[in-house]
Amino acid sequence: MLKGLVTALHVIMSIAVIAVVLLQSGKSAGLSGSIAGGAETFFGKKKGLDELLGKVTIVVGILFAVTSLVLGLQFFGK
């Protein structure tokens, strides 16, 4: 029962990680992207949804890692 619950939670977390990462805005590559990115953070343009999605990504990623460890310990513990 517990293994099924953790497996279901793991599947939900994996879908959530994919969705949250895809919802984030893309970063420009190259030298011009780094200059523009520095200007945006200097002038305070990077606020709101991108910042929230970054925090949500961290939380969901940690939960995904925890469920991975629990399932791994259950698998190798037997």
Which pLDDT value is given to residue 42? 57
Residues 64-77 pLDDT 10s:
999 999 999 988 87
For the entire predicted model, the pTM comes to 0.70
Label residue 33 by pLDDT band (50, 70, 90).
low
Which pLDDT value is given to residue 1? 82
Amino acid at 54: G
Which pLDDT value is given to residue 67? 95
Q: Please tell me the distance from the alpha carbon of residue 19 to that of residue 23, in angstroms, as a whole number.
A: 6
- CB atoms < 10 A from the CB of 60, how many? 20
